[in-house]
Homo-oligomer: A and B are copies of this chain.
Amino acid sequence: MSFEISPDVALGQTRKAPENFIGRNDVAFVNRASEPERRLFFKRTLIAAASAAAAGAVGMPSLVRANTLPTDGDPAILNLPEHTTGLGLPVAANPYGQPSKFESNLQRRESPGLTRVSQASVSFCPLQSLFGIITPSGLHFERHHQGWWDIDPRQHRLMINGLVNKPMVFTLDDLLRMESVSRIHFIECGANTGMEWGNVAVPTVQYTHGMLSCSEFTGVPLIKVLEYCGVDLKKGRFVLAEGGDGSSMTRTIPMELIESGEVLLAYGQNGEMLRPENGYPLRLVVPGVQGVSWVKYLRRIEVGDQPYATKDETIHYVDMMPDGLHRQYTSIQECKSVVTSPSGGQALLNKGFYNITGLAWSGRGSIKAVDVSVDGGKNWKPARLEGPVQYKALTRFNLPWVWDGKPAIIQSRAIDTTSYVQPSYRTLREVRGSKSIYHNNAIQSWAIHADGTVHNVHVG
């Protein structure tokens, strides 16, 4: 298999590639590699497209400028692919576009057997193959408690009641006409990375950290609607948010968060209406707080004078501490990060250059810095943060790395604007023990073996 430019495609005649042509073998060292020439690629799953890209060099682009093709030339001689000579598909062939058929392996996936029924389960976001910070809405993770619905927005209502002067019922178009704001925020399930408490070492980042997504949300600040209803902010220090699906999802939100203006009655996600799996036509957006509080199919907000102690904040989403007691209302998602590539289940075919990339986030504010270690935490290097670095949003980081072919352990450690540093497993377990399900924000370690395979390990 040769990656040099095929000598017979140019101008329809056999031609030796010029001496200064360089084949694909060199590309691994394009940035700063110091190793001799050897091919080195991820074996699989780094990028769906890349995984398939080991095929031969057919369909090579022509060397001729297409607009200077000799008019008497025979296109067949030029060995041009069909898309270079034919007429393609018309505009609006897909009035709502879809990904390439070559990307069909890129899916959100349920972890088989994780729950008894798939209506009360999770599908995980394929973080290992995503770029930037915006999660494509079609790949957003799902967590349903009694299945999802495509609710008719004409029928949907939002009630505001409790400690307000004017209890009210709103239609969706009432809300759509109000002042709106748009903000980029992450959402993370409180149970994300939960299997790791028990040393399960789930094999891929899709399953360790894939209950995580980030979108541009649009909606009305809840405080504006509460103020219109005459909320009693002196007594009414808590809010109950209630979903319209059969799971009776109800969560308490402290009024301080709502008064900050951050909590949104959101209908928009990544430029369009919410997706049905994400609460269409209305969900609560509670930046920095675990996903369960972002109540989907939102139908009611009640203002009260104390926490509501609903089932989903007393039986579920609590932290079993070493002394056997459950810790309640630990809703903020603490500062956390993860290297998404290279990551578990991927494999490096050989030593040389790699772009280490990952995501960092904090429920307390913005990301200030991310450090990366390739030796299991002995030495750390600051990664480059991609803009925009947004408040309570995912932040993408990148760091160039040349692998020397020896075993390595890759870690990332995030620091947020409160100067909180993401803890190691040891530090976290000293406080929390190991019987929790929720709220694991420890440093993730990926071990690279000498054969290039990448594995989830618990160290440090």
Q: Is A179 within 8 A of B272, CB to CB?
A: no
CA–CA, A11 and B97, complex, Å: 45
CA–CA, A224 and B132, complex, Å: 19
Q: Is B149 within 8 A of A83, CB to CB?
A: yes
Residues of chain B within 8 A (CB-CB) of A157 are 57, 59-61
Binary contact track A383-422/B, C-beta < 8 Å → 1, others 0: 0001110100000101010000000000000000000000
Contact of A400 among B121, B179, B267, B297 (CB under 8 A): B179
CB distance from A111 to the nearest CB of B (A): 10
> Is A174's CB within 8 Å of the partner chain B?
yes
Q: Is B102 within 8 A of A153, CB to CB?
A: yes
Which candidate, A133-141, A190-198, A441-449, is the interface stretch facing chain B? A133-141
CB distance from A85 to the nearest CB of B (A): 6
Answer whether A91 and B388 are a contact pair too, CB < 8 Å, given A139-B272, A173-B47, A270-B134.
no
Q: Is B224 within 8 A of A31, CB to CB?
A: yes
Q: Is A53 within 8 A of B83, CB to CB?
A: no
CB distance from A336 to the nearest CB of B (A): 19
Residues of chain B within 8 A (CB-CB) of A22 are 166, 168, 229
Q: Is B386 within 8 A of A388, CB to CB?
A: no
> Is A329's CB within 8 Å of the partner chain B?
no
> Is A99's CB within 8 Å of the partner chain B?
yes
State how many residues of chain A have any CB contact under 8 Å with chain B: 161
Residues of chain B within 8 A (CB-CB) of A302 are 65
Residues of chain B within 8 A (CB-CB) of A130 are 271-272
Answer whether A96 and B139 are a contact pair too, CB < 8 Å, given A31-B179, A177-B354.
yes
Residues of chain B within 8 A (CB-CB) of A176 are 46-47, 49-50
> Is A299's CB within 8 Å of the partner chain B?
yes
Q: Is A300 within 8 A of B155, CB to CB?
A: no
Residues of chain B within 8 A (CB-CB) of A132 are 182, 216-218, 268, 270-271
Which candidate, A274-282, A373-381, A423-431, is the interface stretch facing chain B? A274-282
Answer whether A49 and B153 are a contact pair too, CB < 8 Å, given A171-B3, A177-B355, A400-B179.
yes
Q: Is B136 within 8 A of A270, CB to CB?
A: yes
CA–CA, A312 and B381, complex, Å: 47
Residues of chain B within 8 A (CB-CB) of A281 are 49, 100, 102
> Is A328's CB within 8 Å of the partner chain B?
no
Binary contact track A103-144/B, C-beta < 8 Å → 1, others 0: 110111110000001110111000001111111111110111
Answer whether A89 and B246 are a contact pair too, CB < 8 Å, given A50-B173, A97-B139, A272-B99.
no
Q: Is B109 within 8 A of A95, CB to CB?
A: yes
CA–CA, A61 and B242, complex, Å: 10
CA–CA, A4 and B22, complex, Å: 74
> Is A172's CB within 8 Å of the partner chain B?
yes
Q: Is A178 within 8 A of B355, CB to CB?
A: yes
CA–CA, A300 and B69, complex, Å: 15
Answer whether A89 and B148 are a contact pair too, CB < 8 Å, given A31-B224, A59-B155, A156-B59.
yes
CB distance from A17 to the nearest CB of B (A): 9
CB distance from A104 to the nearest CB of B (A): 8
CA–CA, A224 and B400, complex, Å: 13
> Is A18's CB within 8 Å of the partner chain B?
yes
Residues of chain B within 8 A (CB-CB) of A91 are 110, 118-119, 121-123, 142-144, 148, 277
Q: Is A180 within 8 A of B355, CB to CB?
A: yes
Residues of chain B within 8 A (CB-CB) of A229 are 22
Q: Is B169 within 8 A of A60, CB to CB?
A: yes
Q: Is A138 within 8 A of B98, CB to CB?
A: yes
Q: Is A179 within 8 A of B147, CB to CB?
A: no
Q: Is B118 within 8 A of A92, CB to CB?
A: yes
Answer whether A149 and B273 are a contact pair too, CB < 8 Å, given A170-B24, A180-B398.
no
> Is A73's CB within 8 Å of the partner chain B?
no
CB distance from A298 to the nearest CB of B (A): 9
Q: Is A52 within 8 A of B154, CB to CB?
A: yes
CA–CA, A54 and B171, complex, Å: 9
> Is A81's CB within 8 Å of the partner chain B?
yes
- New A-B pairs, 14, CB < 8 Å, besides A88-B147, A88-B148, A133-B271: A5-B169, A21-B168, A49-B281, A55-B154, A59-B152, A66-B242, A83-B244, A87-B119, A90-B110, A91-B143, A96-B107, A102-B153, A178-B353, A179-B398
> Which residues in chain A, 13-51, are within 8 Å of chain B measured between CB atoms?
18, 20-24, 26-28, 30-31, 41-42, 46-50
